[in-house]
Structure 1
Amino acid sequence: RDELKSLLKNVGYRSDDESNGDSDEDLGDRLEDQPYFHGILPRNQSISQLIEKGDYLVRVNEQGKVVLSILWTDPENPSRLKDGHFLIHERNQMYSLQPEVYSKPSVHELISFYKRQKIELRDDGTRLIRPISRPDYVINNDEVRILDMLGKVSFVLIFNIFT
């Protein structure tokens, strides 16, 4: 749990107890509040969410890295669509899709900048067009409260949680 909190904090997540609450912008920039942020999601599951050219989502991969997944035209066969996955780089508390190219202070600002400015991610015209919202059944970690441990079964901890 601490590992996940640390990872989310590194990509711009601030839990309610860490935020000073002084501005609405703080809430607007929180990555986990963005409908296109799917949390921890393996690559193969992200692909199934993308349907049309320019569909995109942001996820955390199995290695704990933040990734932008997008669907675009296959350069080898223009009649087909292909998935692409871009690591989001963090350096000096600035986020970018390519080192030394457009950097922003949060992942949300970075994604918004690329979409608003219609910046191509590749030379073939690949752009962010339609954000894919996470399913309603996915809940944010800060919406879950562990009340107490009920037991242990074969290395699995069973908790009583409240959402």
Structure 2
Amino acid sequence: LMFFVVKALITVSETLKPSPALTSVGSAVGSIEDQQWYHGMLPREDINRLLKEDGEFLVRVTEPTPSSGMRTVISTRWNGRHYHFIVGHCKGMYYVEKETFPDVVALVEYYHRQKKPLTEATGAKLLSPVKRQKWELRHEWIKLDRQLGEGAFGGVFAGTLTTGFTTRKVAVKVNKGKAVEKEVIEEMCKEAAIMRIFRHPNVVKFYGIAVEREPVMLVMELVEGGSLDIVLRTKKEELTVQDLTNFALGAAKGLEYLHSKNCIHRDVAARNCLVSGKEDVNQRLPIRWIAPEVLETMLYSTKSDVYSFGILLWEIFSEGNVPYGKMTLAEVKTQIRSRQFVFNGKFHVTISDYYAEGVRC
């Protein structure tokens, strides 16, 4: 998905490295992934949003690097500032400043129960754990079945999500490969942050994201009908003008809703619409669909989305033909910049009004 990214919360943050350890303290029960205060690879931007009051804390891990792998971080807010303490590891023991512990759970529970500052310099205390949010899913809740598609980020799979006594069919976006890059995690988490505020029948429903370990998984509603561009090409003999009109109306409703939430889609096209079993179109949230001003300025707006919607109308009523036909991308760019929009193709029966509306967009 490509959305317009809203402004991030601006906070004062510090990352503090551990001091040498001194005193050893006993172990605690349970793995780190079982703790409600553990948030996996959730990016710092999301972490800072979750820490709202002084004394609130959580534990996360950094994305792996070739030199150091993953590193455990205790994030907390104290005196209005966000601190991120890197947990040191030496000879099988973990520490932040003075005491050492056999595991991270024991370290966190000790400072939480004793109400002792993590470091003398900051005075920061672990008073109130921030629990995992409803949209932070456990990997064991997700089961992958068949693969639906693949892109630069990785694959999309049909699967199931089981939470409590409820199991539902879902679509799962899984990052590619074993190594998780910082940019991939941040992009998927940004996508999740935006999707979770949307509630509309023509926008794909978001269930959550699993970031406690690799691979990162983004879980969404499974729309059984497939992508609109495939439906238009493979079922063109079966589709009526009413069907095509419903597709256009569903996409328009979804786009109107996104714009009402001050969200710009930036990639409105038939390939990014899904057809449900009821023949509704769900917005799933480049050059052939892009507005002239975007090519010139690389700035998106609701108006550029409406332009792309006009191209989508043409796709729908031309039985899924590719905009600008067999032109090369260079030729397409020339056409767009010169405002010469020539679309050749067979249109579905009497759709002159719809074609005119598409050109007007």
Q: Which amino acid aligns with 2:145?
A: L
What TM-score does the superposition give when structure 2 sets the normalisation length? Answer: 0.33
* Structure with higher RCO (Cα < 8 A, 6+ apart): 1
Which deviations, in whole Å up to 9, do the C-alpha atoms of 1:53-93 show, x marking residues without a partner?
Answer: 111011122343211000011xxxxxxx1000001122333
CA contact (8 A) 2:59 2:74 kept: yes
Partner of 2:101, secondary structure, is coil
Question: Residue 95 of structure 1 corresponds to which residue in structure 2?
Answer: 94
Q: Where do 5+ consecutive residues of structure 2 fail to align?
A: 1-26, 65-69, 162-361
- Between the aligned partners of 1:154 and 1:128, the Cα distance in structure 2 is 40
CA contact (8 A) 1:41 1:62 kept: no
Deviation at 1:114, TM superposition (A): 1.0
**Structure of higher CA gyration radius:** 2
- Between the aligned partners of 2:126 and 2:153, the Cα distance in structure 1 is 42
Deviation at 1:147, TM superposition (A): 2.1
- Between the aligned partners of 1:95 and 1:162, the Cα distance in structure 2 is 37
Question: Residue 51 of structure 1 corresponds to which residue in structure 2?
Answer: 52
**Between Structure 1 and Structure 2, which shows a larger proportion of helix residues?**
2
Question: How many residues matched?
Answer: 129
Q: 1:150 to 1:86 in 2, by over 3 A?
A: same
Deviation at 1:111, TM superposition (A): 0.2
Does residue 70 (structure 1) correspond to residue 69 (structure 2)? The answer is no
Partner of 1:47, secondary structure, is helix
Question: Residue 118 of structure 2 corresponds to which residue in structure 1?
Answer: 121
- Between the aligned partners of 1:145 and 1:130, the Cα distance in structure 2 is 33
- Between the aligned partners of 1:139 and 1:152, the Cα distance in structure 2 is 22
- Between the aligned partners of 2:153 and 2:132, the Cα distance in structure 1 is 30
Q: 1:72 to 1:154 in 2, by over 3 A?
A: closer
CA contact (8 A) 1:115 1:128 kept: yes
Q: Where do 5+ consecutive residues of structure 1 fail to align?
A: 1-24, 74-80
Deviation at 1:155, TM superposition (A): 4.9
What TM-score does the superposition give when structure 1 sets the normalisation length? Answer: 0.70
Question: Residue 38 of structure 1 corresponds to which residue in structure 2?
Answer: 39
CA contact (8 A) 1:96 1:102 kept: yes
Question: Residue 22 of structure 1 corresponds to which residue in structure 2?
Answer: none
Question: Residue 4 of structure 2 corresponds to which residue in structure 1?
Answer: none
Which of 105, 126, 138 does residue 108 from structure 1 map onto? 105
- Between the aligned partners of 1:84 and 1:32, the Cα distance in structure 2 is 22
Question: Residue 270 of structure 2 corresponds to which residue in structure 1?
Answer: none
- Between the aligned partners of 1:47 and 1:122, the Cα distance in structure 2 is 20
- Between the aligned partners of 1:122 and 1:154, the Cα distance in structure 2 is 43
Which of 133, 136, 139 does residue 135 from structure 1 map onto? 133
Deviation at 1:48, TM superposition (A): 0.8
Work out the percentage of aligned pairs sharing the same amino acid.
30
Task: Tell me the C-alpha RMSD between the 2 structures.
Answer: 2.1
Partner of 2:125, secondary structure, is coil
Deviates more, 1:88-97 or 1:135-144: 88-97
Q: Which amino acid aligns with 2:53?
A: E
Q: 1:44 to 1:106 in 2, by over 3 A?
A: same
Q: Which amino acid aligns with 1:113?
A: Y
